Structure 1
C-alpha cells in the first residue's frame, strides 16, 4: 500500500506525534471487532467507537469528532458513500474507505463523495495501520495496484453501439484548469499517474519542496481538497487517459 504524497497537502493532522482517534464502521460485528483490535494495539492509534451503518457513523462523528473514519461501503440503510458525503460536507473527519474491489462498483463514487483514500479488506494488517496513519496525518491514500483499474473502469464510458470508447473526460474540461501554469499542469498529470512528490521531483529535476508548492497551487486554484480529488479531476478532464 502506498501514499501518493511524500508530504501532506492539507493542514489536517500534521502533528505526527498526536494520537489519532479512529471510528470503525462496518455492518459486520466480526469485522468491526477485528479492525478495532488491529488498530487498538498501536500506541499512536485509539479506537474511540464503532458503528454498524452510515447513519450511526454520521451521528457518532458529530458527537465524537474522530480523526479518521474507517468506512465500509455496502451497508444497509445509509451506505458508506452517503455517510462519507455527509461526514466530509460537515468536515467532521477524514474518511478511509474499506472495500472488496471485485464486488464493489461504488468505490469511485465514494472518492468523489470526499473519501481521502481506500484500502482493500484483504490488505495486510500493517497496510491497514499505515493507511490509517497516512490519512490521519493529511495524506491522500491511493493504492497503486488498484487505483489505475478503478479509474479505467469508471472513467471510460462504454458506448451502447459497441464501438471503441471515447476518451475519458472528453468535453468536460473545467475552466479553472486554465488558471494553472504549464508546470502546474505537468505536475497535475504526474500526480494523476500516481507519482509521489519525490518521484515527481526526480522526473522534473527539481526539489521536493518545489513540487509540494506546485501541488498546493493546483489544489488551491482548482478548489480541491486533496490529491484524490486531483486524480479524479485530471482523468475526468482528459488530462490523463486510462492506460497511459
Structure 2
C-alpha cells in the first residue's frame, strides 16, 4: 500500500513521523521524498537530510536519485528554487517519477511531501495535484504547538475538498512547553475525520525507532 504523508506546515515533523512509520511497518518498506530544497552539496551530488532519513528507515534500498529526483540547494520554496535552475516541476513529471513505487515490490510505501498540503509547483500547479491524480490515501502529521487546531482542520478540509481521504493522522509534539497540550490533543481527536495513529511526545533523542514506539499502524486497516 502507498500513502502520501503531508503536514500542517513546515517543520511539523513529517520526516520523523514518516521514518517512524517505515520503522513500525511490517514487510518490505520504502519512502520517497520527490521534492526537496535545502540540500547540501556532497561528493555524490546534492543530498537532502530528509531523503537520507527515509532511505535509512527503508528496507528496500534504491539509488538516491530515485528517492529524491528533484533536489535543490537553496532552502527556499521549491518552485522558486526550480525556477532559478530552469527545472520544470510539472505534475506529470513528478508523477512519472513516483510511478516507480508500483514496481519496487514494497508492502508499505510512503511518499513524503514538502511543506504543507498546498505546495506550489509553479504555473498554477501544486503537489496536491499529483496526489489527486494518483488517488493516494493521506496520512496527516500535526505539529503540536499553538495554532495546530486551525492548521489541522484547514488542511483536512482542503484534502477532503480535493476528493481525497485522510486515513490516519499523527500528533507530533514540536513545542515541549505547549500549554493545554492534552486538551488540544483531545480536541483534534474529536474534530479530525480519521483515526489517530499515535501521539509522539517531545523526544530528547528524536529517532525513528523512538517515535515508532508511539504509533499503532493497525488503525490504518
- Smaller-chain TM-score range? 0.3 to 0.5
- Higher strand proportion (structure 1 or 2): 2
Higher relative contact order structure (alpha carbons within 8 Å, sequence separation ≥ 6): 2
Larger-Rg structure: 1
- Higher helix proportion (structure 1 or 2): 1
TM-score (norm 2): 0.38
